[in-house]
Structure 1
Amino acid sequence: MNTRRTLALTAYILAIAAANWLTTRYGIVPTGFGLATTAGTYAAGAALLLRDVVQDYAGTAWVFIGIAAGGALTAVMSPALALASVTAFVLAELFDWGVYTPLRSRGWARAALLSGIVGAIVDTAVFLRLAPFPFEWPVFWGQLVGKALWATLLPVLVVVAIRKVRRGPVSRHPVGA
């Protein structure tokens, strides 16, 4: 496996484990505007975006290997949370894959953004129903905003901006422009 694949997979596994560790350690935290979220929401949102990177660099099979590895690390901390997490990630990743794969040929940003939002909805709904704490609507909406907006939209916009800067200014051909 090349360096990019290894880095993508490692980051994905660590994002899953970090999301679950933060949730185990800190539980539900306020996010403002009357909303709350699990403490690991932003890391879980990053995992949804990293899933697309792992698919691009390593292939779909490695996505599920990453989920299993992240789930195994979580099981050491909290078996009940691991069950909720793995179930939510597998279902969210299947939906994410179903959106990302056909859209990928039309551009990474569109595919990553739309698949991340779909994945965030599925992950949030499943995880909060299975996790070992009570389901509350303010937590659902807080987690969804955290994953879809801050952990998906913002990183996609940053990547798009970096790509534009790296390409440099658009220059016109001096003849016939």
Structure 2
Amino acid sequence: MTLPAHHPQSWQNTYPTPPPVFPVGRTLGWLAAYAGALVGANALTASYGMIPVGFGQTATAGTVLAGVALMVRNTLQDLLGRRGVMTAVLIGSLLSALVAPPALAFASAASVLVAESADMSLYTPLRRRGWVRAVVPATLLGAFLDTLVFLTIAGFPVWAAVPGQMTGKAWAVAVPVLLVLLCRSVGPRAGRVRRLARNWVSRS
């Protein structure tokens, strides 16, 4: 028997499960993090200039946050799709130009646009192989191009600065990836501990 269209259970004839709900709050949070990373990268560089990033290298103070922006972009692509994240990248490029010092506005906008687009072009085909296998090479490619484009257009020495810039951005890749791997390793073990505890409580 077919239920009338207005029947409260008629949706079950068309949708075996309820349609998915778009995570608005989580998406807005990641968009805010993306914008904050871009703004913060420019603000830190303007305020503090060069800072040590380890291994005897120095980089602009906003380098780590520029790497964070690349990592966040990958998460936004999972939430928004390619068209949505490309819109976010274009807005991010404009925002980066607006908050950068006037002399660096074009370099900042161009580096964001080129780096984030390259990140997306590599992340997209690799994503089906898993998040870690996609995010590491894609973010490192974007980080290298971000450094190359920004330094070239801004008129800074390029190759002398690349090691420090890449070291700073590598921290932004390594820390979240290691945390994700740690959580994946600990998560199943924690679940087993909770199940054992529940079984022990139910038998006692």
TM range (shorter): 0.7 to 0.9
Higher radius of gyration, 1 or 2: 2
| Unaligned 5+ runs, structure 2 | 1-21, 193-204
Q: Name the structure 2 match of 1:90.
A: 113
The answer to whether structure 1 residue 37 and structure 2 residue 77 are counterparts is: no
C-alpha displacement at 1:56, in angstroms? Answer: 0.6
| Structure 1 residues 109 and 33, CA gap change in structure 2 (3 angstroms) | closer
> Contact 2:100 / 2:108 at 8 angstroms: preserved in 1?
no
Work out whether 1:62 is the aligned partner of 2:79: no
The 3-state SS of whatever aligns with 1:134 is coil
Q: Which blocks of at least 5 consecutive residues in structure 1 are unaligned?
A: 172-177
CA RMSD for the aligned pairs? 2.2
User: In 1, are the aligned partners of 2:89 and 2:116 still within 8 Å (CA)?
Assistant: no
| Greater RCO structure (CA 8 Å; 6+ sep) | 1
Contact 2:93-2:113 at 8 Å conserved across structures: no
Query: 2:185, 2:60 → 1: CA distance?
Result: 34
**Structure 1 counterpart SS, 2:36:** helix
Give the structure-1-normalised TM-score.
Answer: 0.84
User: Are the equivalent residues in 2 in contact too, given 1:19–1:40 (CA < 8 A)?
Assistant: yes
TM-score of the two chains, using structure 2 as the length reference: 0.73
Is residue 125 from structure 1 mapped to residue 148 from structure 2 by the alignment?
A: yes
Between Structure 1 and Structure 2, how many residues are aligned?
169
Q: Is the contact made by 2:39 and 2:99 (CA closer than 8 Å) also made in structure 1?
A: no
Q: Share of identical aligned residues, percent?
A: 43
| More displaced stretch, 36-45 vs 53-62 | 53-62
Which residue of 48, 51, 54 corresponds with 2:70?
48
Residue 18, structure 1, aligned to residue 40, structure 2: yes
Contact 1:64 / 1:90 at 8 angstroms: preserved in 2? no
